[in-house]
Amino acid sequence: MTLPLIVYRSLRQHALSTIVTAGGIALACGLLMCVWMVKTQAQAAFTSTTSGFDAVLGARGSKLQLVLNAIFHLEASPGNVAAADFEMIKRHPMIKTAIPLAVGDNLRGFRLVGTAPELFTNVEYAPGKKFTVRAGGKVFAADAKEALAGSFAAQRLGLKVGDTFRPFHGLAFDPKAEHADDFKVTGILEPTNTPVDRVIWIPLRGLQTMSGHDPKAATDVSAVLLQLRTPMAGLQLDMMYNKQGNRLTFAYPVGAIVAELFGKIAWFDQVLALVAYLVALVAAGSVLASIYNSMSARRRDLAILRALGARRRTVFGAVLAEAAAIGALGAAVGFAVYYGLFAGVAAVIRAETGVVLDLAAKHPVLWICPLAMIGLCALGGIVPAWKAYRTPVAETLAPVS
């Protein structure tokens, strides 16, 4: 009872500095966990998001740009793939599925992507998971001016089955660039937690023959999503397109290409880690400063405890426990900070990329960080605890005239 009571009363007595210090630690702890979790989960989510495809074929250019454009619906298309090239890869014996994509239009900032209806009927976007259209809707017909809206895009744009809209030219929304074509929404996709949710899907022909588009490119596609029959096929097609050919780019495997992106920004991880460690050190320093500064106010209390029979190690332990308790309080509130921050960041990432981060995900950093913070705070308590340890009892208790 003794130690918890001493710690509790001391924290109460110095409530303001306790709250301020614990608040700082909560921010530090929450930030640390959030940075780590967002980084880890974003990397895992981006590298595992393949929408069910092994590779992407596109115009000659950067593989990363091709993958970002075709899988994540970010960035501009590096160029077009001629219809003949699409037909050739489609009939290639090593290809299981080839789904064409055409991009270049939007609806109030959300991308319109032209594709084949087979994408939604034949392809598993994740193992064992196929696209599902919400009740009352259906996939567009290949030769109709119809649209199937991703769940997030439909929610944001307020689209429902039966609505009609006119697309806008370009990937960025320009109210003056409206096309004359009317598309009718025939269905809304159930959420997939992939970038597919942010797209409004229309038939390939619908996008290729949109009024105002270049008729000469009316049979071209922007990219082709590919499922391979064997992993060996990837190596052979890589040789064929990337090393021997010079017109097209074969991006394979999709996950590894995205991982390259994270590899290129690994230095940023190190900077983040350094910042995180510094934040943790500052938090521990704040505990040291906070308790140390209050030592002159509590010297008398400590001397009284010693006069009552408390050993030096008891008062040392009490101050150390108090520092650790501030750390624990901060770490506990840090979880609230973490969940708040993470939810905000996850919402932004979802809105911008369609990639969903899991708020309930477990990771060792979620227990290592709070424990390390408590340990650091206890470490920060050593100096004031030593001061408490050395408190001279008789001199401190001498009556002040």
**Which residues of this protein are in contact with another protein, per CB under 8 A?**
1-2, 5-6, 9-10, 12-13, 300-301, 304-314, 393-394, 397-399
Strands 248-251 vs 129-130: parallel, antiparallel or unpaired: unpaired
The smaller minimum CB distance to another protein, of residues 305 and 356, is found at 305
The smaller minimum CB distance to another protein, of residues 81 and 326, is found at 326
CB of 301 to another protein, least distance (A): 6
The smaller minimum CB distance to another protein, of residues 12 and 362, is found at 12
Strands 200-203 vs 110-115: parallel, antiparallel or unpaired: parallel
Q: What are phi and psi of 334, to 5 degrees?
A: -60, -30
State how far the alpha carbon of 113 is from the alpha carbons of 6, 74, 194, 306, 369, in Å.
Answer: 66, 12, 15, 77, 43
Among the listed residues 122, 144, 138, 152, the one whose alpha carbon sits nearest the alpha carbon of residue 202: 144
Burial class (CB in 10 A: 0-12, 13-18, 19+), 270: exposed
The smaller minimum CB distance to another protein, of residues 8 and 277, is found at 8
Alpha carbon dihedral 89, 227, 111, 67, in 10-degree steps, equals -90
The smaller minimum CB distance to another protein, of residues 146 and 301, is found at 301
CB of 373 to another protein, least distance (A): 26
**Residue labelled with tokens 């390259």:** 260
Burial class (CB in 10 A: 0-12, 13-18, 19+), 244: exposed
CB of 304 to another protein, least distance (A): 5
CB of 322 to another protein, least distance (A): 12
- Distant-in-sequence, close-in-space partners of 10: CB < 8 Å, separation ≥ 6: 298, 301, 318, 322
- Distant-in-sequence, close-in-space partners of 162: CB < 8 Å, separation ≥ 6: 184, 185
The smaller minimum CB distance to another protein, of residues 175 and 399, is found at 399
CB of 328 to another protein, least distance (A): 20
The smaller minimum CB distance to another protein, of residues 55 and 302, is found at 302
SS3 201: strand
Contact 208, 82 (CB under 8 A): no
How many other CB atoms are found less than 10 A from the CB of residue 306?
21
The smaller minimum CB distance to another protein, of residues 15 and 348, is found at 15
CB of 284 to another protein, least distance (A): 25
The smaller minimum CB distance to another protein, of residues 12 and 243, is found at 12
CB of 367 to another protein, least distance (A): 33
Among the listed residues 236, 284, 226, 270, the one whose alpha carbon sits nearest the alpha carbon of residue 96: 226
Contact 148, 201 (CB under 8 A): yes
CB of 393 to another protein, least distance (A): 5
